[in-house]
Amino acid sequence: MIARLGGINPLTALALAVLLVVGTYVVPAPSGPLAALALAVSLAAMAGVARRVIILAAAVSIPTWIFLAVMNAIVAPEGEVVRVGGFDVAPGALVPAAWISLRLGAAVAALGWVVMTTPPQRLVRALARRGLPAWSQYLLAASLAAVPEARRRAREVLDAQRSRGLAVGGGPVARLRATLALAGPLMVSLVTEAERRALALDARAFDARGARTSLTEVADSNGERTVRTVMWGLTVVLIVWGLVR
Amino acid sequence: MLEGAGSSISYARVTPLAKNYVSTIALALIPRAVALNLAIGAIVAALKLPVYLDSIGTVLVAALAGPLAGILTGVTSNLVLGMLSSPTFIAFIPVTAVIGASAGVASRVGAFRTVPRAIAAGIMIGLLAGAASVPIVLALFGGVTAGGTGILTIILRSLDLPLGSAALISSMSVDVLDKVLSCVIVAAVLARLPRRLGARFGLPHPAA
């Protein structure tokens, strides 16, 4: 089953994630978000990433619930108030806060499952096959590839500035000054590098209008296409139902 | 591509792409700016600073290459963050698009030529970004996000401010501080950028 999930077209996984997110927000709580969360976690379990997906969803939904509970039940109590330890507390506000957090957690789990099981480059290739323009393919793929390099260069510049006596500790002002000393050289270097890359792109006929081929193809069976069409249709039905309800 | 022009070297305008509005050099710059947003954002978070600076690359691209390139940078940044960090960033794509668009428009009127102008642009961009984020925070997060902005919202709610107003004031306050700083840094960088490089983006050098 793990191999089966890993082999599905990324667009099918994306369509399912969007359907789950829409279902989470359109179908009333708690049944809608609970069903979406259960399905997302089940899919994550089949792909072997259930623990990571649960942690990701909990990292968003639990702090949100705590902040909402503090605000709506204690700081600015909404609804019927009871006296607890010298404070006015509105216990009724805890339930709506739980539903908001549950919806958020379910949406994060639905998208998180796709993000964790789909290599971004595979998603870009699948989108390219469905007609994504070359320039937007480049933007997504090159941005994803540039992140580790930028983090490495940021560390290098920070080390170079430290070796010149820059202090990165101390109060907020000292730390901010350290960040500014880091940002300047990084920004100048990226603009300089962009010029070289633009010349390289032009030299490789980046703006050519002909059809392009890919070294690797992402499988997309007729069955998956049908399932995807049904899922997009269900998503539209849910949105319309949510609007007219 | 290269043309001699007197004692200096100038470059022919590169082929326009993306519906003739974004040049190849701007497209080449955007992935680096996206990575810069993520790298600086991570460093600022690690240093526990009261700002984000995670739109600094977006503001830089918008200042050099205009509003559409700024929008593309902002949208791509949050898509990549959504893929690499947390899907919640995807919900804030409209906010980053507003930042890119407003910084690009500000650049067109010379907002990055001096520090006072950059501060004014930062205030405007921060107010717009704060206003754009409030409907998302209200609809998806119940009006409060877990973090510094959320704490400010709770403090304002304790002063009996309505939820919408509290969320708006806290978002705008944090965003104004953050975008003013980003704009001042970008203005300082543009002033140090070789004039030839600015001309490559098809715009008059912003610091000229």
- pLDDT tens-digit series, residues A14-39: 999 999 999 999 999 899 999 999 99
Q: From start to end of chain B, where are the E strands?
A: 2-5, 8-11, 16-17, 22-23
Average pLDDT over residues A119-131: 86
Q: Is residue B172 part of a domain?
A: yes
How many structural domains comprise chain B? 1
* Chain B environment of A71 (Cβ under 8 Å): 143-144, 153-154, 157
| Residue B164 domain-assigned (yes or no) | yes
In chain B, what residues touch A75 (CB-CB under 8 Å)?
154, 157-158
- Average pLDDT in the A97-106 region? 96
Tell me the pLDDT band of B205, cut-offs 50, 70 and 90. very low
pLDDT score, position B202:
60
Strand ranges in A48-121 using DSSP code E only, listed in sequence order: 82-84, 87-89
- Classify residue B157: in a domain, yes or no: yes
Share of chain B above pLDDT 90, in %: 61
Reference A21, options A244, A235, A240; nearest CA is A235
Contact call for residues B141 and A59 (beta carbons, < 8 A)? no
Q: Which domain holds residue B59?
A: 2-199
The CA distance from B83 to the nearest CA of chain A, in Å, is 6
Q: Domain for residue B166, yes or no?
A: yes
> Which sequence spans correspond to the domains of chain A?
2-118+219-244, 133-203
Q: At residue A216, does pLDDT exceed 90?
A: no
| Six token digits for residue B206 | 């912003």
A99 to chain B nearest CA, in Å? 10
pLDDT value at position A102? 96
Position B12 in a domain: yes
Residue B120 falls inside a structural domain: yes
d(Cα B156, Cα B163) in Å, to the nearest integer? 9
pLDDT tens for each residue of B79-114: 999 988 889 999 999 999 999 999 999 999 999 999
Residues of A in contact with B50 (CB under 8 A): 172
Convert the pLDDT of each residue in A53-67 to its tens digit.
999 999 999 999 999
CA of A23 to nearest chain B CA: how many angstroms apart?
14
Judge residue A199's burial from the number of C-beta atoms within 10 Å of its C-beta, 0-12 exposed, 13-18 middle, 19 or more buried: middle
Q: Cβ A191–B29 below 8 Å, yes or no?
A: yes
Residue B207 counted as domain residue: no
* Locus of tokens 């709580």: A29
End-to-end CA distance of chain A: 38
Which residues in chain A are contacts of B186 at CB distance < 8 A? Answer: 187
Phi, psi of A14 (to 5 degrees): -65, -45
Contact (Cβ atoms closer than 8 angstroms) between residue B61 and residue B182: no
d(CA B202, CA B208): 14
Q: Which amino acid is at A223?
A: G
Q: How confident is the model at residue B123 (pLDDT cuts 50, 70, 90)?
A: very high
Question: What is the residue type of A227?
Answer: V
Chain-wide mean pLDDT for chain B?
A: 85
